[in-house]
Amino acid sequence: MKKRNVLLKFSSLVLALGYLSGIFTAVNAYAQEDILTVTQNAGYQTDEFYKPKASIVIEAQTGQVLWADNPDLKWNPASIAKLMSVYLVFEAMEKGQFTLNTMVKATESDQAISQIYELSNNSIVAGVEYPVKDLLYATLVQSSNVATVMLANLVTANDEAKFIHMMNDKAKELGMTNSTFYNCSGAETGSFNGYYKPEGIDQNADNVTTARDLAILSYHLLKNYPDTVTYTSPTQITIMENTPYAEVLENHNYSLPGLAYGYEGADGLKTGSSPSGGFNYAATAKREDTRLIEVVLGVGDWEDQEGELQRHAFGNAIFDQAFATYEYKKLLSKGNNTISQEEVILDQDFYGVIQRNTTPNFKLSADKVEMETGLTEVSPTIKAPSVSFKYAKKLKALQNSALLKTGKKKNVFSTFFINGLFIILGLLFLALSKLFKKEPTSNKKNKFNLLFILGILLVLAGIASSVYTVVIGPWI
């Protein structure tokens, strides 16, 4: 018997170890399929040299993280910083400070900045007026530094330092906890040859952020200002049309459909590159009802310009994996549903992110229906999808109570009418009792007593039934 118990314990130990080993193997296998492996398996030619330093993919409606690799690494985003400047421009327009058609007159400094060879720019001529709309295209399509400076100065009435403080304040407000901005365009302030010099700001500092923070920024930008993709999606566009200053701008986002790494559904957001940051990429793409946002940082090395293309290979590959694995769709319809064996009524349709070909699990929390996905939000400031509900049984009871009250209300008029008749009849009998009081005979006196008592009783009955009707409800 003792030997048998030992064998049973040994067998249980072997099974437990085998189970744990299986889990470890599965986790280890998943961990080994990093972004380089995913990209190579997707058919792109790349190697370890170009592997991004950080990356993230989130779903654009919910902010839930679908992929993350070193997302909190602090990094120089280069021109992706322009997204924050654009956010503040859209916000200023929302407040009514100016419109897309507001004309911005170029200064001598603006023209000088546009001629700095080392900076990405479009042509700007001093004294010429440029519409805000065209400056947005120049900022987001051409990655123009001078156009970004002109827009920033428009927002703050040429207070360059104020705009930098606004960028940092907005970063905190949006939940970008690892971001600090020192310039509005992504290029070091010192590279502007003194034509752009925010007072009190470190002239040689690079902007610092993370893949997560840029995903948070992109999430809020697309959520609050969805027209952003209007300015990030053109592969080519002409600004200042029908003027002597017309200029064709070319987009460096090669994942836009029709370009070198064209990706189905891609329509933005922004690329960025610098000697210290390598090649970076913030992108969004939509397929059916699912829109994704991704950020890829630190691809390759500035000395090897192949990184400009390789960033799109990595971006496309993790987009592919996320689109193939997840979808955003309607999961529950407004109205009657059964959740956790409870009959509930939803106030509206429930949309959320779910792994394809799986059945979602829902839970009731306070007055909200939530979904158990195992996914986390990119920021604590973004709440997981939920929808308000009411318990069907309680609601039915309340409705029945309301119907009962409605039925009673219909009888109130009739009840008060009868109550009034009692009182009127009682008063009539009291009046008659006074008439009969004048008669000298004892028989008349008996009639007087009877009428008086009956009148009093009817009046009291009418008053009592009226009080009952007001306090409790109709008695008929």
What pLDDT, on a 0 to 100 scale, did the predictor assign at position 85? 98
What is the CATH architecture assignment of 39-326?
3-Layer(aba) Sandwich (3.40)
The C-alpha atoms of residue 364 and residue 332 are separated, in whole angstroms, by 13
Residues known to be catalytic: 79, 82, 143
Q: Which CB contacts under 8 angstroms, 24+ apart, belong to 384-387?
A: 384/62, 384/64, 385/61, 385/62, 385/350, 385/351, 385/352, 385/353, 386/350, 387/332, 387/346, 387/347, 387/348, 387/349, 387/350
| CATH number 2.30.140.20 given to 328-393 | yes
329 is in an annotated binding site: no
- pLDDT score of 465: 77
Distance CA 89, CA 91 (A): 5
pLDDT at 451: 75
Q: Where are the beta strands (DSSP E) in 126-194?
A: 129-131
Domain residue spans of the chain: 39-326, 328-393, 403-471
Per-residue pLDDT of the chain (476 residues; tens, 9 = 90+): 444 444 444 444 433 333 333 333 333 333 337 999 999 999 999 999 999 999 999 999 999 999 999 999 999 999 999 999 999 999 999 999 999 999 999 999 999 999 999 999 999 999 999 999 999 999 999 999 999 999 999 999 999 999 999 999 999 999 999 999 999 999 999 999 999 999 999 999 999 999 999 999 999 999 999 999 999 999 999 999 999 999 999 999 999 999 999 999 999 999 999 999 999 999 999 999 999 999 999 999 988 999 999 999 999 999 999 999 999 999 999 989 888 888 888 889 999 999 998 988 898 887 888 888 889 999 999 999 999 888 877 645 444 444 444 545 546 566 767 878 878 887 887 777 777 665 554 454 444 467 788 878 888 887 887 777 766 666 66
Q: What is the pTM of this model?
A: 0.77
* DSSP-assigned beta bridge partners for residue 280: 272
> What's the CA gap between 372 and 384, in Å, rounded?
10
What pLDDT score does 31 carry? Answer: 39
| Contact (Cβ atoms closer than 8 angstroms) between residue 252 and residue 279 | no
CB atoms within 10 A of CB 387: 21
Residue 38's nearest CA partner among 230, 371, 378, 323 is 323
Question: Cα separation of 249 and 239, whole Å?
Answer: 8
